[in-house]
A and B are shown apart, each in its own frame.
Chain A
């Protein structure tokens, strides 16, 4: 027989850890914004993000994309460590062992709580070794220079490091659509670097579906 008392033994029922009203807290007088684990958060003014884009472009030109990607890699590695720690502490299970639906839920809610937009995973291409991630309402795309290039290099770096840590394989990340180019969302393809290479040059001239078809060849 099911014992409800046993189900309540841990006292903590696993709800939405990343609910915004409980996740973000702080003491403004002390100059602190923290998450519910006590890790410090920082609020970025929009002008600072725009200034980072403009400053990098001016100082490093084309290399600014690589700089942002590598910053994202560093950020993503630490983000994964925190995410794993939070999930393991609260849900008593590591992200790698979670059911996919719960993992995705946690990731989506975490993304929203940090103000990074709505993230979704598309597993359609998983059998072929690719994972497609779509992010909508990204502040990093909205504040990027609006031109004919994808601009979420920071997020591409984050996703690359995050999913590399999660899967234990070194994954690269290629952005195929961008809100800064008028698309309905930012699509990223994750896979092994040598398998993504053939599509790198197509990003500026092809749509997402054509790039996926090319990757299948």
Chain B
């Protein structure tokens, strides 16, 4: 759960929640059905989306060794799953602690930035098609993760940079 909401419950013994605190809880609670629908959508389209991305990458980058492409795809799958969970729980620290901390140092060592940059463009484009409006919830955290891994900024497929 979002740390701000978690903190709200720390003081239950001494007082009832303030109006603005209740508003924060209500905002999250009302967004849960949409978050769950997006999470299910992501889960269901994961394989098709990533297979399409993998096929495109192999066509566009025939010079790249398959092991390098597979590494990038595996990392992207890991990123999608962590971003999905972070979106569901509205807790972006999940992406930082469980994914970025682990993958960030390896990207530079294995030199996959060029593959990753193209992969993210293809991925965002395909996810936009597959999830449509549901991307509103997923996109900010996905872009945050992608930008953390690449020196150049990644934009969402429709060109709208969503603030984080």
Q: Residues of A at under 8 Å CB distance from B? A: 1-5, 7-8, 13-16, 19-22, 101-102, 104-105, 109
Give B49-88 as 1s and 0s: 1 = Cβ < 8 Å from A's Cβ atoms.
Answer: 0110011001000000010011001100110011000000
B2 on the A face (CB < 8 A): no
In the complex, number of A-B residue pairs with CB atoms less than 8 Å apart: 63
Residue from B50, B54, B73, B78 within 8 A of A15 (CB atoms): B78
Classify the secondary structure of A's interface with B: helix
B102 on the A face (CB < 8 A): yes
Instruction: Kindly name the residue among B66, B82, B98, B110 whose own CB sees the greatest number of chain A CB atoms within 10 A.
Output: B98
Residue of B nearest to A7 (CB): B74
Classify the secondary structure of B's interface with A: helix
**In the complex the two chains form, what is the Cα distance from A48 to B74 in whole Å?**
44
**In the complex the two chains form, what is the Cα distance from A122 to B69 in whole Å?**
29
Q: Residues of B at under 8 Å CB distance from A? A: 47, 50-51, 54-55, 58, 66, 69-70, 73-74, 77-78, 81-82, 93-94, 97-99, 101-102, 105-106, 109-110
**In the complex the two chains form, what is the Cα distance from A4 to B119 in whole Å?**
14
Residue of A nearest to B52 (CB): A4
User: Given A4-B47, A4-B50, A19-B97, A105–B102 Cβ distance below 8 Å?
Assistant: yes
Asked whether B55 lies within 8 Å of A1 as measured between CB atoms, the reply is yes
**In the complex the two chains form, what is the Cα distance from A8 to B49 in whole Å?**
14
CB distance from A23 to the nearest CB of B (A): 10
Residue from A7, A19, A22 within 8 A of B77 (CB atoms): A7
User: Given A1-B58, A19-B98, A7–B106 Cβ distance below 8 Å?
Assistant: no
